[in-house]
Amino acid sequence: MEDEEGGSEEAVLARRQRKEKKELQAKIQSMKNSVPKNDKKRRKQMTEEIAKMESELEEKHKQELADLSQNQQAETEVNSISNGVTSLDIGSDVPAQQPRVSKAQKRREKKAALEKERDERIAEAEVENLSGARHLESQKVTQILSLRQLQIKQIPSDGHCMYRAIEHQLKERDRDDTLTNLRRQTADYMLSHVDDFLPFLTNSATGDMYTQDEFEKYCTEVASTPAWGGQLELRALSHILKTPIEVIQADVSPIIIGEEYSNKPITVVYMRHAYGLGEHYNSVEPLTVTSAE
């Protein structure tokens, strides 16, 4: 069977499936890079999420191969029946065979059916999510921000979200502190104020406080990897920027870090249920009437 896009349908399907596998592996690698190696809880969640994605892709590919085989078998049977009819006498009482459906038409019909099925799955997921933790959290945060004439500014979930949220806030104030500089300054500040940060870091495996070597390794990851940032890094940034940082959450009152400074606070949003791996930071921006939120 030849496909209009070049090569047989089997070859086209094989190429697409190889591409999807490569894309999944790239996504998995990005997820692994975004979770600190010493955070066993998040890495366990990530491992489960990866296994689920790999299983779903494998099942999808198996179903596609089965569908292709079934379509080819059906087409063979149609061709066989069609050839038998042409050998009959014109005066035969056998009903005329229906016009043969072209390969292109079959592909269009199959594509339409798959798109319909996908739309139905999306609709079902949206309905289910209306009562989910992620949706409820988003609603609460949206209400809190709207009272201030603000809305969420979505930040990519790539391990840099907290720093990107701060970067966005600073750009709104015409400051050009880049993500790279913010990470480096945070690590340098923590290293130069060990006693302010080391007591709050513990080894997730043993429960013991970090050693000096572990703390230095932690700071190296802050500076040069997509390691997630949290309250300790926000504390360091508030001192670096000499500015309070306000953290808005759905179910608790806003937290102010760096209250000793008098500048207008930088505001970020902390989401517990934003993504499959859990916590995420977003920024804020002025509320607009066209906001989808």
Catalytic positions are: 158, 161, 280
Determine contact, residues 286/151, Cβ cutoff 8 Å: yes
Q: Distance (Å, rounded) from C-alpha 162 to C-alpha 156?
A: 10
* Cβ-based neighbour number of residue 209 at 10 Å: 13
CA neighbor of 244 nearest in space, from 232, 231, 229, 262 = 262
Q: Distance (Å, rounded) from C-alpha 69 to C-alpha 91?
A: 36
Q: Distance (Å, rounded) from C-alpha 132 to C-alpha 119?
A: 20
CA neighbor of 150 nearest in space, from 277, 241, 265, 229 = 265
- Dig out the tokens for 27 from the structure: 């996504």
Instruction: List CB contacts of 164: < 8 A, sequence separation 6 or more.
Output: 155, 156, 179, 281, 283
Q: Distance (Å, rounded) from C-alpha 10 to C-alpha 23?
A: 20
CA neighbor of 35 nearest in space, from 264, 246, 226 = 226
Determine contact, residues 57/21, Cβ cutoff 8 Å: yes
Instruction: List CB contacts of 65: < 8 A, sequence separation 6 or more.
Output: 13
Determine contact, residues 227/249, Cβ cutoff 8 Å: no
